[in-house]
Chain A
Amino acid sequence: MKTAKLILGEWNTKTIVGVALGAALFGVLMVFGGITVFTNTRLTTAFLVPVVVGALFGPLPAAVSAGLGNVVADFIGAWGYWFDWSVGNAVLGFFIGLLPVYGAIITKGKFNLIHAIIFVITGFVGNVVAFGLVTPLVTLALYGGELNITLAQAWAAGISNSVVLVVGGLPLLFALARVYASSTNLTKE
């Protein structure tokens, strides 16, 4: 039961605001905060956003903010709608956001080396599931055909996302945990 709650998150006003903020950040970063490495694939800093949303609110909120964030990016970037990728991003967001489920309670300042390793592994698995499996399936369903090209793009996306998650995500998580750890037992000196 507790795990279920951890996965679904508590959908109160704070979560709603957090998810919306996350989606907005994701969208803006996807459009303005990256460089294109392959068609439909950008080395984007956007995946740092579900890291924070996941740490604060859990996996489902992280998934929603990544998926919606991508739709928003399609909207403001005006490069057409790629719902297959939005779904893929949502799935990856979910995996990234698993943090509290395996005990990395960032809001209590808990994030250690083991959590970091699990984070990297789930990030990797998430990329494989999201872009190796889910995105191609949705592509097939929505746009029909051409798995080859989507798979090639998936590889590019998976690699660039993994790089961003390790290079940017880990320091971000340690920083976040430190901020929360230093926000307890405040006394005036």
Chain B
Amino acid sequence: MKYIDEYRDSSKAKNYFDAIHKIVKRNWSIMEICGGQTHSIVKYGIDELLPKNITLIHGPGCPVCVTPVEKIDKAIEIASAPEVIFCSFGDMLRVPGTHSDLLKVKANGNDVRIVYSPVDSVNIAKQNPDKQIVFFAVGFETTAPANAQAVYLAYKENINNFSVLVSHVLVPPAIKAILDAKKNRVQGLLAAGHVCAVMGYKEYESIARNYHLPIIVTGFEPLDILQGIYMCINQLENVTCNVENQYSRVVSREGNPNAQKIMNEVFETSDTKWRGIGNIKQSGLKLKDKYKKFDAELIFGVIDYTVEESTECISGIILQGIKKPMDCPAFGTICTPEHPLGATMVSSEGACSAYYLYKEKN
């Protein structure tokens, strides 16, 4: 397929590996933020072919992995109500809550549906006026505009049996939290290309300056990632800390103003908890007051939930790049993609699942 195949060309990839070997002199740790990039890196064995003095740290950029257990429990409680049709992106169904997951709720005979687009759930609401349709609005900045558009449509069309369980997180506050952490070892960043397709990369310029590290907006195909790593190492070796845009075929500095506009119309920032990491200030989105009547947490009265996270799962420190999946005693033994203990084993973009799928075989 155009814009995919040519970025998987193995002879060009080899040239990149050679070029990176040529320029790297010291030890460097680079974090790729996005789980999609983690997946590509592990799938194509990029981490294993890089020079030994480059360490790739897999960041927290998988919304499925960082959605707090409380939200999953809330989703389970709402989805279990007989009057509800609960709509979600497919990858949320197997994420373990405290006692269950959405797939089990579905197996128990409740109406839980996988939708491709958030707007599909608005259409389901129109077709089922005697039911309450709840959409699990999960995601980063990439997904927020689509989810906002669904709420906006429901508002404009005055649909009263539709609501959203919002679990939105934002990338820049999480980056800052990671860089501020005492144990931080990240020296360069590959920023998530699709988040930047929406938001642009202006916000990253002050992060690069203030934390003195290069940030490369990077795409998802092997050649994109290799070019991102090359650009990052080049800056590290030359002691510069600029934002560079590797993914210029998709991302502009300003991002997509139409998508940002609808996001800002419907959502505002709020303090948010990240699974395995904890609370990060102003790192999430919630509905603005104007759209509160679409807030499933208010409608179903599932507000005050607090949950102790499992102590077995170390996904929180994996998401901060301090440990690797293999360092977890449960990895591949009691925790597998079929029986995940933590969210990073559920999503194909989670580091644990990527390691399980692609590293076991080697």
Whether both chains belong to one complex is answered with no
